[in-house]
């Protein structure tokens, strides 16, 4: 897709963020065509240097952005940051509550100079008794019931990705886009706030509703009573090759039984309806497990796909590098990891516009790589730029969410 045809082309975003939630807001807006300027502290965002499970945070959530390093504790750096915000359409931040207000970069301080500004704050909590607490994705998964639902009883387990950070960022983008639409009518920007805890509550709302409907608390997923009799992971003939299969309607049940020679199950009136089959899982599943254990996963996949039944080979994240669907459909972007220079392929925005995927317009930026060009765009002369971007001692404590 040509960059000029991306839906947010011409929109400028100033991003003061770190870790995952804030950058996820920025990368979605960037992939949609916005000019996203990532403001980093001197020496670069410390997220760039995380190890272990955090090593992928910066590469995944910072493509299609430009980077400038500013010292917000210096007059020159703060003045440059303010000038960027005054000329922007959107500002995204995930500092601790009150930090930007003290720096004169809060919405209340900026809206007079830029009434069209949309300010998006990615926080741990929305307004209420918890709003000043420090939060993390894992903290809110634990206190919001998601970890309880994911692990077996007595062993709460966070989900296997930063789902709350990312989903919370998505809600931030939804709010920003809604504020943009309102600005089209009114000419005025506004404040948008998204939060980890409330995002978690939204995601477990289905389990709260289940309690309200049934009178029984939802059980953790490993021991839950499924809504369908066949909706599970099965072993196949080759060790280590597992397959998830779901049969979720009466029509699918008939198709499944007919195709796999389960005439006795299909003809038994005790299994005629979905709810009857759910109550009879203990009788049905052993027969299905024995059937699948005698077949290779390859054969099962071929048959299930031809029947149009839901299935999924159990994969690891690194298996997706070679996934034929992602590689052939343009679902992976070729990017360069900053500093080390290694190249890899990472998932793009999971949206098509007019049948096309959003392209990689800018590689993952080196820290501060675009600083001089960005400051020239807002009218700074070379002397002022040099003074503003002069090297500062690294290691200052960041006051973030």
Displacement of CA 332 from its chain's centroid (Å)? 16
Average pLDDT of the chain to the nearest whole number: 94
Average pLDDT over residues 153-180: 97
Average pLDDT over residues 66-76: 96
pLDDT value at residue 93: 97
Task: Put the strands of the sheet holding 118-123 in their side by side order.
Answer: 65-69, 35-40, 12-16, 90-93, 118-123, 190-195
Place of tokens 């089959």: 277
Length of the chain: 401
Domains, in order of start, for the chain: 3-203+323-388 (3.40.50.10540), 226-316 (3.30.1540.10)
Tokens, residue 399 = 């006051």
pLDDT digits (tens, 9 = 90+) for 215-234: 999 999 999 888 999 999 99
pLDDT digits (tens, 9 = 90+) for 85-128: 999 999 999 988 888 989 999 999 999 999 999 999 999 999 99
pLDDT value at residue 398: 42
User: Counting beta carbons within 10 angstroms of the beta carbon of residue 51, is it exposed (0 to 12), middle (13 to 18) or buried (19 or more)?
Assistant: exposed
Percent of the chain with pLDDT over 70: 97
If one counts every other C-beta atom within 10 angstroms of the C-beta of residue 343, the result is 10
pLDDT value at residue 216: 95
The closest alpha carbon to 203, from 119, 130, 137, belongs to: 137
pLDDT digits (tens, 9 = 90+) for 319-347: 999 999 999 999 999 999 988 778 999 99
Residue 34 near residue 176 (C-beta atoms within 8 A) = no
pLDDT value at residue 225: 84
3-state helix/strand/coil string of the chain:
CCHHHCCCCCCEEEEECCCCHHHHHHHHHHHCCCEEEEEECCCCCHHHHCCHHHCCHHHHHCCCEEEEECCCCCHHHHHHHHHHHHCCCEEEECECCCHHHHHCCCHHHHCCCCCCCEEEEEECCCCCCCCCCCCCHHHHHHHCCHHHHHCCCCCCCCCCCCHHHHHHHHHHHHHHHHHHHHHHHHCCCEEEEEEHHHHHHHHCHHHHHHHHHHCCCCCCHHHCCCCCCEEEEEECCCCCCEEEEEECCHHHHHHHHHHCCCHHHHHCHHHCCHHHHHHCHHHHHHHHHHHHHCCCHHHHHHHHHHHCCCEEECCCHHHHHHCHHHHHHCCEEEEECCCCCCEEEEECCCCEECCEECCCCCCCCCCCCCHHHHHHHCCCCHHHHHHHCCCCCCCCCCCEC
Question: In whole angstroms, what is the distance from residue 121 CA to residue 376 CA?
Answer: 27
CA angle, 320 then 326 then 329, to 5°: 170
Band (pLDDT 50/70/90 cuts) for residue 2 is low
Residue 343 near residue 332 (C-beta atoms within 8 A) = no
What is the pTM (predicted TM-score) of this model?
A: 0.93
pLDDT at 164 over 70: yes
């Amino acid at each position: 897709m040509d960059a000029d045809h991306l839906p947010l082309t011409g929109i400028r975003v100033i991003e003061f963020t770190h870790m995952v939630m804030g950058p996820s807001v920025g990368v979605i807006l960037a992939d949609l065509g916005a000019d996203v300027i990532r403001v980093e502290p001197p020496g670069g965002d410390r997220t760039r240097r995380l190890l272990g499970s955090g090593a992928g945070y910066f590469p995944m959530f910072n493509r299609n952005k430009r980077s400038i390093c500013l010292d917000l504790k210096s007059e020159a750096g703060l003045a440059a940051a303010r000038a960027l915000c005054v000329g922007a359409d959107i500002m995204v931040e995930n500092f601790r509550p009150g930090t930007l207000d003290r720096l004169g970069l809060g919405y209340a301080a900026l809206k007079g100079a830029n009434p069209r500004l949309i300010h998006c704050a990615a926080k741990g909590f929305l307004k209420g008794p918890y709003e000043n607490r420090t939060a993390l994705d894992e903290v809110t998964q634990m206190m919001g019931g998601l970890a309880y639902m994911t692990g077996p009883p007595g062993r709460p387990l966070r989900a296997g990705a930063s789902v709350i950070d990312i989903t919370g960022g998505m809600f931030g983008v939804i709010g920003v886009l809604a504020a943009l639409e309102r600005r089209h009518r009114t000419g005025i920007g506004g404040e948008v706030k998204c939060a980890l805890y409330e995002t978690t509550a939204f995601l477990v709302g289905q389990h709260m509703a289940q309690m309200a409907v049934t009178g029984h608390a939802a059980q953790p997923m490993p021991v839950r009573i499924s809504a369908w009799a066949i909706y599970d992971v099965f072993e196949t003939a080759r060790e280590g090759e597992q397959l998830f299969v779901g049969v979720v309607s009466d029509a699918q049940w008939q198709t499944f039984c007919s195709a796999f020679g389960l005439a006795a199950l299909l003809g038994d009136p005790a299994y005629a309806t979905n709810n009857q089959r759910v109550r009879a899982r203990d009788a049905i599943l052993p027969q299905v497990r024995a059937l699948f254990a005698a077949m290779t996963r390859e054969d099962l996949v071929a048959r299930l796909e031809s029947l149009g039944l839901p299935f999924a080979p159990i994969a690891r994240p690194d298996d997706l590098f070679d996934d034929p669907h992602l590689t052939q459909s343009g679902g992976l972007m070729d990017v360069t990891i900053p500093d080390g220079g290694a190249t890899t392929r990472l998932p793009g925005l999971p949206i098509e516009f007019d049948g096309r995927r959003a392209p990689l317009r800018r590689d993952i930026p080196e820290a501060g790589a675009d600083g001089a060009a960005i400051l020239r765009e807002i009218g700074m002369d070379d002397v002022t730029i040099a003074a503003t971007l002069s090297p500062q001692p690294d290691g200052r404590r960041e006051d973030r969410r």
